[in-house]
Amino acid sequence: MELNAISIGFVVFTIFTLGGGIGVVTTRNLFRGTIWLMVSLFGVAGYFVLLSAPFLAAVQILVYIGAIAILITFAVMLTRSVTRIKTRYIRLVPSLIASLALFLILLLGVTVPIFGGVSPELAPETVASTRDLGAALVDENGYVVPFLLASVLLTGAMIGAIFIARDDTD
Amino acid sequence: MDEICTGLCRLMVDSGADAGLAQFVSLLVGVLLVSGVPLLTVILLIWIERKVAARIQDRIGPNRVGPIGLMQTFADLLKLLGKEDITPTAADRLLYNVAPLVSFASVVLIWAVVPFTPFHYGVDLEIGVLFFVAVASFGTLAIMVAGWASNNKYALLGAFRVVSLLVSYEVPLVFALLAPVMLAGSMSMLDIVNAQSGMWFVVLSPLAFVIFYVSSQAETGRAPFDLIEAESELVAGFNIEYSGMKFGMFFAAEFLHVFTNGILMALLFFGGWMGPLYYESPLIAFAWLGAKGGIIYLTTLWLRNTVPRLRIDQIMAFNWKCLVPLSIANIVLVSLALKVLQELDMAPRQLIGASLVDMLPATIVLLIINGALTIYLLGILRRRGKDARREAQAAPVQFARASAD
């Protein structure tokens, strides 16, 4: 691998992503765990920048770090003994098998061309801009149906959440 | 190389320096300038803020240290630096120390996408506006971390109040930002300013500006939304355990954020550097931007020192029952009107370079829509206000009897 800005960036963001992930599973402190999760998510945002998808990078930070991770910290605050978790998940063999299986499936999915193959490197002119992304989301030959379905699903989930959380007294 | 290497870099290459080194040095200078200017501005801003507050409250303000008190902030800075740096024993050391840095960095990072003149900017990102929103969310994170890491229940309670406020007001803020983005057809700051050559966006979409103004006032935690500290009543909020320069950094971040919002509003709604003779010299363009941003900044100070604080339930109700629906309605109406006008050939499809005459029909239609929405909104608020007043006038009877006993 050639040593240039992109490869250095890749290494840095990989350290962020994997290091954050390791931090999440090893720390005994739930709050620190969420912070590590944010570090990991930040690393993923860095990958999007390297893949010339700045829009996705900004959305990753805005949605995952700015909203979801904040929500997780709120949830963490409501749990007991945030800082000293004593219970451990001890069934190591099943979790080892499960994680290895997942890793293998992902590895096969990326390397073996089942899902449309692997494109070696994108030429600069084929890199989609934010405008293309927006157009694809509302184009009938693009992703308009999945986009609308996801929107309906999210709206339904939101109404459901409001309905469940509603106080019955009034 | 030729496109990247301009200005200082070109000069260095011409005088015989290594091209790579020249590029590195010029980039470094750029980074230092973009991060250094806000750092120095904040020192002056604190003085301005204190002077304005003093004048509004019929005081003189800092006037002892240096001419007209200009050196007061430096004295304060030295005092803060000299203070004992206390870390509570039960605090989460790492997070406690990182939080002020993240808080300040979240504001300084915004300046990376601020175009000072048509030619001088840190970086012109394709997603400039979204970058600003994403970076600002780090500020929320910093407050949460500070409140938790202090290991003080009051700090944590303060952080909860603030974070719920910040997260809520981010929704109308982002919706309001969509209006200039849609009008300009781009998220790049540079394109948005250039698209205002015909007409400023504050005229095309005044409601979006008002929503942005109110929610950015809330995002910076200024009155009437200053639950963050509530300096005049409470000890402090999330920053109660912080001392010395760490405390100073939270405050510097807040002061700078207010000014940054002024500049952002000037860029997004008031045509940025557009003004008479701005094309003559970058310095004139910069002066226009500074003047517009400064005026908006002064109005926020004025507001801060004039209006009383709202209760947290009032703040939340105002956001979710008024600002959010209004901002959504505004977006729907503006986008619809813009598309219809473009189909009827009454508005230019490309705003960059459009003249005042091109924009006139679109301006009138959008102004009428905004006016109608405002009248409707005022009607609702009036009705609610009347109901609330009736309830309040009914309630004190019991209250008075209770206190008489």
Q: Mind listing the pLDDT tens digit for each residue in B349-360?
A: 777 777 777 778
Task: Give me the half-sphere count of Cα atoms (radius 13 Å) on the Cβ side of residue B227.
Answer: 21
Candidate from A32, A55, A65 with C-beta closest to B141? A65
- B254-309 residue pLDDT tens: 889 999 999 999 999 998 888 888 877 888 888 899 999 999 999 999 998 888 88
Residue B384: the pLDDT is 86
Phi, psi of B170 (to 5 degrees): -70, -30
Cβ–Cβ < 8 Å for B267, B245: no
A49, A81, A113 — which closes off a domain?
Answer: A81
Residue A77 at interface with chain B, using a CB cutoff of 8 Å? yes
Decide if A117 is inside a domain.
no
Cβ–Cβ < 8 Å for B216, B209: no
Cβ–Cβ < 8 Å for B300, B217: yes
A56, A81, A106 — which closes off a domain?
Answer: A81
Decide if A116 is inside a domain.
no
B121: which strand partners? B115
Is B127 close to A67, i.e. CB distance below 8 A?
Answer: no
Specify whether A73 is located in the same domain as A10.
Answer: yes
Is A66 close to B92, i.e. CB distance below 8 A?
Answer: no
Decide if A137 is inside a domain.
yes
Inter-CA distances, A44 with A2, A11, B260, Å: 22, 12, 28
Decide if A14 is inside a domain.
yes
Helix/strand/coil for B260: helix
Is B167 close to A61, i.e. CB distance below 8 A?
Answer: no
CA B66, B72, B74, B80 torsion-angle sign: positive
The C-alpha of A66 sits at a distance from chain B's nearest C-alpha, in angstroms, of: 5
The C-alpha of B207 sits at a distance from chain A's nearest C-alpha, in angstroms, of: 24
pTM beyond cutoff 0.95: no
Is A70 close to B140, i.e. CB distance below 8 A?
Answer: yes
Residue B293: the pLDDT is 93
Tell me which residue range forms the domain holding A161. 128-170
**Whole-angstrom Cα distance, residue B250 to residue B104?**
7
Residue B300: the pLDDT is 92
Phi, psi of A78 (to 5 degrees): -85, -10
Query: What is the number of domains present in chain A?
Result: 2
The one-letter amino acid code at A123 reads A
Residue A41 at interface with chain B, using a CB cutoff of 8 Å? no
Per-residue pLDDT of chain A (170 residues; tens, 9 = 90+): 566 778 888 999 999 999 999 999 888 888 888 899 999 999 999 998 888 788 888 888 888 888 888 888 888 877 776 666 666 667 888 989 999 999 999 888 777 766 665 565 555 555 667 778 888 888 888 788 989 999 999 999 999 998 888 876 65
What does the domain layout of chain B look like in residue ranges? 1-82, 88-404
Task: Give me the half-sphere count of Cα atoms (radius 13 Å) on the Cβ side of residue A68.
Answer: 11
Decide if A155 is inside a domain.
yes
**Whole-angstrom Cα distance, residue A109 to residue B62?**
67
Residue B405: the pLDDT is 44
Is A58 close to B127, i.e. CB distance below 8 A?
Answer: yes
Q: Beta-strand (E) ranges in B83-152?
A: none
**Whole-angstrom Cα distance, residue B176 to residue B334?**
11
Is B144 close to A73, i.e. CB distance below 8 A?
Answer: yes
B228: which 2 tokens?
Answer: 């963050």
- The ipTM is 0.78
CA angle B76, B77, B79 (to 5 degrees): 60
Specify whether A2 is located in the same domain as A61.
Answer: yes
Candidate from B126, B144, B163 with C-beta closest to A54? B126
Decide if A42 is inside a domain.
yes
Residue A143: the pLDDT is 85
Is A32 close to B138, i.e. CB distance below 8 A?
Answer: no
**Whole-angstrom Cα distance, residue B92 to residue B241?**
12
Residue A123: the pLDDT is 53
Q: Taking Cα atoms as reference points, which of B284, B267, B268 lies closest to residue B276?
A: B284
Cβ–Cβ < 8 Å for A56, A48: yes
Which residues in chain B touch residue A29, judged by CB atoms under 8 angstroms apart? 92
**Which parts of chain B sit beneath pLDDT 70?**
1-11, 17, 228-235, 395-405
**Whole-angstrom Cα distance, residue A66 to residue B142?**
11
Residue B113: the pLDDT is 87
Alpha helices in chain A (DSSP H): 5-26, 30-50, 54-59, 69-77, 92-111, 130-138, 144-165
Specify whether A77 is located in the same domain as A3.
Answer: yes
Specify whether A2 is located in the same domain as A75.
Answer: yes
Residues 240-279 of B with CB under 8 A from A: none
Which residues in chain A touch residue B124, judged by CB atoms under 8 angstroms apart? none
Decide if A146 is inside a domain.
yes
- The domain spanning residue A5 has which CATH number? 1.20.120.1200
A20, A55, A81 — which closes off a domain?
Answer: A81
Specify whether A1 is located in the same domain as A75.
Answer: yes
